[in-house]
A and B are shown apart, each in its own frame.
Chain A
């Protein structure tokens, strides 16, 4: 047998290159290119009265200065609304350069192209824009009030209003023995990839061809959008995603204004042009996420079974909706997690504000949904005096109930139907890992030392691997080198490794012979992109299917040449051989030679494929009717629906009794993404996700003031956690294979960050004895909550008033 590759914790093939400075990111390309820089709005809402560039024109090195009226035809029209939806009745998108109104600080107004970025920025500083300021809408409450409008023609600032209901919620609520209402609040955060966005375009005037590079999560998407905007034949546009230093969602949005303007300027000027986003631009001109207000009303019985769940969400979508309403749709559907809600109604309003637009960020609406559901679970447990895991457990969808159809439409327009998962097993593993049942002792001991500790939990289900499709192409060279290509892009996930593992396993070749290319429209023109935890599921499956095709072809050719039946053959370490008689063999390289009948022998090995090299059946053509030359194969994978991964996290936190500083003492993860291709990479994804989740729970917020200025638009004031703030993550896995794809896999990319805010809120609540309904939480916030709790403005948890402290070991109900 070939060495087992699939499922092994193999070190990443890309790391030696990336870790020794061998990466080639956007800004490493195009040193001969002109540089673009932008004048961006300093106001959150204003009409542009006048633009005076007269002082900038003479700056030495300036090549061009462009405003909206310079943009021809479709270049000047609004950017596309990528994901229309029937309830998105008032979708709005911006222009590549603002036309006459700006709707958030950072919106691009003027593009300067110059010999270098220094000169371009000098010129930007000399351009005087006169504004007439308009009233500013910041924050969900202001947007919801609807007194001031972001867009004149959008009443109430409502971009979309959507409602899904399963069962008769009102009747079930009225009949429920207990009801609770929770008002919840989640603040904004953002992807913040290490590398910002960037575009570099070259125009070949003689051939009429555009080649562009973009730090994107979808090179095929950018290519199609740019060709459409610029009126170029698709065949004359190439888009390549070079090494990309992180995406986390923001780079799936396309085309960004710069992705249209930079190629347009390159064609206009006949010279290469490049733009590299700087960090301030990323803060004020890219995208944020999370921000929601939520109201959950829940009805339940004496045992804590859910009877009715009625959720209202007010979602801040920022100034525009280029990515539609995917985020609130995901919140409203994935909120349900591993539970059966009895009856369920979710209504959301997606609201405009004069802030940076909101598009998916790792987790994509799920952290908010998980927060709502898990806060509700804790509240039910407290209301009834039940252990928090017991309430969860009683509402789980059981493995025997799979597949489970919630009766809702998911973000891909298909039914929200869980394919698999073993929630009771996951919870058992988590409780054992964190020592759930022993925590009461741990707490007593800490309290005796004057310390406050709390234990929190959060569970989620994540729909991963949404369609429509991805493809895989595999070609084996005469040297035995295996070239693998898929069209979706890589932002550091380890695709070069995991896709190679799949191919090595399926074909029976060595890892080092497999070479993976992603995100290059020259290699694979049909692709969707890397988002929604879909790369492994979609491209992994497509590549596996392609590998199986290639393997079958290799066996056919080798069987012919070795004069044996293909069933008697196996492929081991790149050699096709007869089972039980390994001396009768030929290398895949030789099979590749034979697969391509030759006129000319370009090297020694090629002789075997030339016309006088062997005995051929003169009645058959050199290439059979149902074959193609070359040892290669291609396939696509297009599933009927998403596959659902899940996870459960628990944390122990300590809060300082005086200063209210919050420390995570332990962080435990049980993660189920089906069959794992590479457990080390899965664990890395989980670690990275938890780190971002910790940021969202304890550190990150977008501090907009009332005038729409972002006060913390730098890494000095926007507090991404450092390694020193991220706890050691104790992770264990459960593997419930997906029945939906050939490899049994589910997505893992977003998992880690989804429940963290819910888990940390749960743990702080447990430590403090009063409800936590708003995240993130800082020491200052917690200190204020304590003061309000002491003043009686915030009630204690019920458990505090019960005669004895609730213990998980006590009989329930």
Chain B
């Protein structure tokens, strides 16, 4: 459980980081919080020759809230985002999801952008980026570019980030007024990777649902968003029709997800679980939509 030899690079600017990444190409790995990367190195599941440690890069540790989005720099730790009152006020979903990310000690080191760049289907924050229709801000040798979430996630642990590019920030989109959000997941143990998880955003206009969407953890190979509008649209939360609509939404989730089984839970179980979790979490989001309206 000791990593293979590697060269440690400690750039001080984004430009330097990109320059090193350009130089080392596929032999390089970016180190931010290290909560996924270091165990992988220690178990020698990967042996990159170069580690580009961005922890000394200036200007990557800020959270900025605008009218449209919450922008999170590449060195913002999960814990920092979780505790940011400004981010919470703008997008409560972030904290609702972040408290489910592993354990406090891991959130203290792990970065939100890092977990998105790691693109694990069992990660909460890639699903949240999707649910908020977010984008990834990238710096590369040719300059900066933005990648919409749908174009960012290509497969399990696979993104459209090039080897010479650095994800410098992500922007989580804010929801329109009247939107309530909620996130829930079920894990074998508190803080484990979830067997299934779901985040929902429900917008209520004039007492009825005007928009609703969901995204998922551990039951799709890349983050995906399901429009629950067809199931819930026009329905008033709390009514008998709402109960039927919840069932319809759950059915839509059941049809949408494509879980895989592993030693902790079978595909069938996960599908049942995410369906039930969706049914259970919707009233919470609808409630909050009312409270926000």
Contacts and interface: CB of A to CB of B under 8 A. Distances in A.
B272 A279 contact: no
Contacts of A117: 2
Contacts of B195: 779-780
Contacts of B190: 722, 724-725
A300 interface: no
A712 B191 CA distance: 17
A702 to B, nearest CB: 10
Nearest to B275: A658
B273 interface: yes
Contacts, number: 65
B1 A699 contact: no
A355 to B, nearest CB: 16
A699 B276 contact: no
B150 interface: no
Contact of A703 (B43, B263, B269): B263
B266 interface: yes
Interface in A106-132: 117-118, 121-122, 125
Q: Chain B interface secondary structure, helix, strand, loop or mixed?
A: loop
A715 to B, nearest CB: 10
B192 A279 contact: no
Contacts of A779: 186, 188, 195, 265, 269
A659 B268 CA distance: 12
A661 interface: yes
Contacts of A122: 4-5
A779 B269 CA distance: 9
B188 A699 contact: yes
Given A658-B276, A659-B276, A780-B266, A118 B2 contact: yes
Interface string B1-31: 1111100000000000000000000000000
A272 B58 CA distance: 45
A292 B3 CA distance: 38
Contacts of B193: 716
B145 interface: no
Contacts of B269: 779-780, 783-784
A699 B263 CA distance: 11
Interface in A251-288: 278-280
Contacts of A716: 39, 192-193
Contacts of B192: 716, 719
B273 to A, nearest CB: 6
Contact of A719 (B1, B4, B39, B189): B189
A113 B6 CA distance: 21
Given A125-B44, A659-B276, A717-B263, A699 B189 contact: yes
A721 interface: yes
A659 B188 CA distance: 12
A655 to B, nearest CB: 14
A175 interface: no
Contacts of B263: 703, 711-712, 717
B264 interface: yes
Nearest to B265: A780
Which of A659, A719, A725 has the largest count of B CB atoms less than 10 A from its CB?
A659
B189 A659 contact: no
A483 interface: no
A125 B4 contact: yes
Contacts of A714: 43
A720 to B, nearest CB: 8
Interface string B258-285: 0000011110010011001100000000
Contact of B188 (A118, A703, A778, A784): A778
Interface string A703-736: 1000000011010110101101100000000000
Contacts of A721: 189
A657 to B, nearest CB: 10
B2 A719 contact: no
Which of A122, A658, A779, A780 has the largest count of B CB atoms less than 10 A from its CB?
A780
A787 to B, nearest CB: 9
Given A125-B4, A780-B264, A783-B269, A280 B43 contact: yes
Contacts of B3: 118
A121 B41 CA distance: 13
A777 to B, nearest CB: 12
A783 B272 contact: yes
Contacts of A278: 1
A67 B86 CA distance: 62
Interface in B229-282: 263-266, 269, 272-273, 276-277
A113 B189 CA distance: 39
A278 B263 CA distance: 23
Interface in A609-661: 658-659, 661
A281 to B, nearest CB: 8
Which of A122, A703, A721 has the largest count of B CB atoms less than 10 A from its CB?
A122
Nearest to A118: B2
Contact of A659 (B1, B5, B44, B272): B272
B121 to A, nearest CB: 15
Nearest to A725: B189
Nearest to A701: B263
A117 B189 CA distance: 33
Interface string B184-208: 0010111111010000000000000
A49 to B, nearest CB: 24
A680 B39 CA distance: 38
Contacts of B276: 658-659
B168 to A, nearest CB: 29
B1 A280 contact: yes
A722 B44 contact: no
Interface in A139-161: none
Nearest to B193: A716
A779 B265 CA distance: 8
Interface in A81-116: none
Given A125-B44, A712-B263, A717-B263, A724 B2 contact: no
Which of B4, B188, B192 has the largest count of A CB atoms less than 10 A from its CB?
B188
Nearest to B273: A659
Which of B3, B263, B277 has the largest count of A CB atoms less than 10 A from its CB?
B263
Contacts of A125: 4, 44
A682 B39 CA distance: 37
A717 B5 CA distance: 27
A221 to B, nearest CB: 28
Nearest to B47: A125
A796 B266 CA distance: 25
Nearest to A660: B269
B100 to A, nearest CB: 13
Contacts of B39: 716
Contacts of B265: 778-780
A499 to B, nearest CB: 35
Nearest to A281: B1
B191 to A, nearest CB: 7
Interface in B142-196: 186, 188-193, 195
Interface string B23-64: 000000000000000010001100000000000000000000
Contacts of A280: 1, 43
A281 B266 CA distance: 28
B191 A724 contact: yes
A780 B189 CA distance: 14
A24 B145 CA distance: 53
A-B residue pairs, 5 tightest by C-beta: A724-B190, A278-B1, A780-B269, A118-B2, A703-B263
Given A717-B264, A778-B265, 13 more contacts: A118-B2, A659-B276, A699-B188, A716-B39, A719-B189, A722-B191, A724-B189, A725-B190, A779-B195, A779-B269, A780-B264, A783-B269, A784-B269
Interface of B: 1-5, 39, 43-44, 186, 188-193, 195, 263-266, 269, 272-273, 276-277
Interface of A: 117-118, 121-122, 125, 278-280, 658-659, 661, 699, 703, 711-712, 714, 716-717, 719, 721-722, 724-725, 778-780, 783-784
10 contacts: A117-B2, A118-B5, A280-B43, A658-B276, A659-B273, A711-B263, A719-B189, A721-B189, A725-B189, A783-B272
